[in-house]
Amino acid sequence: MELLRFQQACLAFGTHPILDHVDFSLFSGERVCLVGRNGAGKSSFLKLLTGQQNLDDGQIVVNTGVVLSRLEQDPPAKMEMKIADFIREGAGDLAQIAQQFYTLSENLDGASDADYRLFEQLQAQMDTRDGWGLESRVADLCQQFDMNPDASLATLSGGWLRKAALARALAARPDILLLDEPTNHLDVAAIQWLEQFLLNFSGAIIFISHDRAFIRALASRIIDLDRGQLTSHPGNYQEYLDRKQKMLEDEQQHNALFDKKLADEEVWIRQGIKARRTRNEGRVRALKALRRERAERVETLGKVDFNIEQADRSGKLVFETKAISCGFNGKTVIDKLDLLVMRGDRIALVGPNGVGKSTLIKLLLGDYKHDSGEIKRGTNIEVAYFDQHRIALDLEATVQDNVAEGKQEIMQNGKSRHVLSYLQDFLFPPARARTPVKALSGGEKNRLLLAKLFARPSNLLILDEPTNDLDVETLELLEDILQQYQGTVLLVSHDREFVNNTVTSSLLFAGQGKIIEIAGGYDDVIAYQQRNQTTAAVQKVTKNSPPTVEQTPVQASVSSAKKLSYKEKRELEELPALIEQLETQLAALQFTVNDAEFFKQGGEQTQSTLNQLQHTESKLAQAYARWEELDA
């Protein structure tokens, strides 16, 4: 069923077209990903649907009774408000109606006729809009999201604030859920939870994301916003990338032929007096039409083209720690860590929010003091630090002044270069370079911070969530640059694909201060965790088995189960074979999922395999539990 549609929709800011006579329809159950370059107008598209922005021309038709709800790009501010009250506000004016109704109902004794009439009106609205179920809905959402309804928003971390905002968006029971960069500020575990939650959501979804693994797992259709045109691409993300590349190549070919024809006609019109006497007036009109068409052509945006200004090489040793420990308020954050970081290493710090990744970076740089152990720092280290909160940017200053600090020239590769020319490599044209930073989008601010960092020599890059808000093309180019970088990289990122494509090893923060070094990227971390879970389950079963060497597990189990029924004895005898079979299936599925090509498949195919993996893990855990139960 069609839920909404755009009809010849037009929107522009100045001379910059956002939507140019666009048609679009959304149907029940669709999960549509809106992609496009930073500044293409993706957030404006969502604002049109929520009424925060109006069209210049055309119309948006939303079916009667369809409810839309939006998850904002930034998490809510920390404030002294109960989580339940915050979620309840997501129901809009219904929450106010319910509050007014319950307040009035407590004070009906001696109420005026006007109060009674208002009470009846409010009661009618509560009946019509199911206001009676609002409180139970809020309680169910708190339980589903594992949040204490009486806790304050001020006590929540960024990831939990994001969850609270999603619960708030669901309070209105939307038919269409609008999500603007939903994975920002979430750790990997929270992203995977969100993926599963949205896959089970019964309504339609329109979401903006640059997290390629998230898009592959969730999207059933891609819509591409490019220079005012909206193109629909059914199917998975990889198919969209292939079609998009072909479209751009065809467009480039068409433009080249068009420009050649226009150049030939311009030569003809200037041939002189003889040509003017014999020229065809129809051909002249056609030339004028060609000129108009060329003037109206919206050129494709260029690609970001940046290079990192590299300092002289650091010493071969960058950092070495010996049994360092650090804690705050009685809580151990890092416990006896031995770590060796050599020049050229590219290391990802992996783990949930708040586990101590930033603390380790501060310890290595000397910004924090450790409680015990020893830290040795190498020589000639020049640090470039990308901070996810962008504190290095002056929001009131212009783009140009943030990079050049009021000067007109910067030094790059030993040569002087005008700052406006340098900024064009980062897709900031001169007019945009003179704009205050506070007027930029989130992606543009991140791109500016990269421009500021890469203009200065460095041999140690520390990147804290550099992928937030960046478009996919910039992400891919940043991956290439980091792979060519001759210095050392420490990376904190929850973008699984970005980590896989850039690092040589990972530090897994396993909790309770334990940090484990693993060769490879995020997929290798997952494989390590799965191996550990399987080993731990086997050890748990083995621990409860009789200690005699001569008996097999089956024999030991049967001999210790004299009080079991015949059926239970048979079940106990068959369980080892079942467990072995499930472990073989699980190993095969894990091998498939860990393959580098796995997430390049269609969303349905990958999700089916992931569901099968989860189902097999669950069956294996149940089989172990049953074996323990019968064996005891």
- Residues annotated within the binding site are 36-43, 351-358
| Dihedral (CA of 468, 449, 306, 432) sign | positive
Q: C-alpha distances in angstroms, 604 versus 126, 236, 237, 240, 250?
A: 40, 8, 11, 15, 29
Please report, in range form, the residues annotated as the binding site for ATP: 36-43, 351-358
Collapsed DSSP state (helix, strand, coil) of residue 313: coil
The residue among 618, 599, 617 whose CA lies nearest residue 607 is 599
How far CA 90 is from CA of 3, 67, 135, 206, 457, in Å, comes to 21, 12, 12, 18, 48
Q: How far apart are the first and last CA of the chain?
A: 55
SS (HEC) of 151-196? CEHHHCCHHHHHHHHHHHHHCCCCCEEEEECCCCCCCHHHHHHHHH
Q: Distance between CA 84 and CA 152 in Å, rounded?
A: 9
**Residue count of the chain:** 632
Strands in 351-398 per DSSP E: 372-377, 383-386
State the chain's maximal CA–CA distance in angstroms: 115
Angle between helices 442-454 and 472-484 (to 10 degrees): 20
**C-alpha distances in Å from residue 501, one per residue of 453, 478, 505:** 21, 10, 11
Strands 346-350 and 488-492: parallel
